[in-house]
Amino acid sequence: MEAFLPIGILFLFAVMLCAGIYVLTNLLGPRIFQKNKLSTYECGVQNPLFETNARLPFKFRFYLVAVIFLLFDVEGAFFLPWALVYRESLQLGANLLIAMLVFSVFIILGLIYVFQNNYLNVD
């Protein structure tokens, strides 16, 4: 636990930097507010074009990317402890190698499934 104390100190410095930026901007920056400066940027179009429902499916593909990322991230995370002990375990024989090959087979099956139904053609 002791090794993580400097990281806490670094976090404090980072927070000080961010607070400094925030305070300096508000102190130094001038305050001239007009109406059009306060509305969000709409490219000069009064009523934004795509207010209709058409946006919904477009955004669903991002949900798909996030779900597939979550599941493959979990699988990626399992490689880390395995890699740590793999080299020593070679002295005791190849069971860790076989374990990982079986694990990778299922990952590859998952990848093939995702690509075959092109769930990821996010355009």
Partner 1 sequence: MREVFFMIFSIFTVLAALGVVVSRHAIFSAFSLVLAFFGLAILYLLWGTSFVSMLQILIYTGAIVVLFVFVVMLLDLKKEETLDSAKTGPLVMAGLSVWFFSLLILRALNRATYFKSTNVEAASDIKSISTLLFSKYLWGFEILSVFLLALIVSACVLARAEYMERKADQ
Partner 2 sequence: MDLTELSIVSIKTLLIYVAFIQVVPVMIWVERKGAALIQDRPGPNRVGPFGVFQPIADALKFLFKEDPVPKEVNRLLYNLGPFLILLPSSLIIAAIPVGDRVELFGRDILLQVADIDVALLFFLSISSLGVYGILFGGWASNNKYSLLGAMRSSSQVISYEIPIALSAANAVMFYGTFSLRQMVMQQEGVLLGFLPNWGIWFQPIGFLVLFVALFAETNRLPFDLPESEAELVGGYHTEYGSMKFAAFFMAEYINLATASALLVTLFFGGWHVPWLSDSWLLLKLGSQNVVALVQVAMFLAKISVLLCIFVWVRWTVPRFRFDQLMHLAWGNLIPLGLANIIVTAILLYFFEGR
Partner 3 sequence: MIPASVQILHWSHYVAACLFALGMFGFLIRKNAIVVLMCIELMLNAVNLILVEVSMRSGHPEGLIFVIFIITVAAAEAAVGLGIILNLYRAKGTVNIDAFRELQG
Q: Please report whether residue 122 would count as binding partner 3 according to CB under 8 A.
A: no
- Of 57, 87, 91, 93, the one binding partner 1 by CB under 8 A: 57
Alpha-carbon distances of 68 from 80, 102, 114, 116, 120, rounded to whole Å: 19, 20, 8, 14, 9
Q: Which of 41, 77, 91, 93 binds partner 1 (CB under 8 A)?
A: 77
* Contacts made by residues 61-66, CB under 8 angstroms, sequence distance 24+: 61/121, 61/122, 62/122, 64/119, 64/120, 64/122, 65/120, 65/122
Q: Is 91 in the site for partner 2 (CB under 8 A)?
A: yes
Task: Choose, by CB under 8 A, the member of 10, 15, 23, 71 that binds partner 3.
Answer: 71
- Which residues lie near partner 1 (CB under 8 A)? 1, 4, 53-54, 56-57, 59-64, 66-71, 73-75, 77-78, 81-82, 84-85, 89, 95-96, 99, 102-103, 106-107, 109-110, 113-114, 117, 119
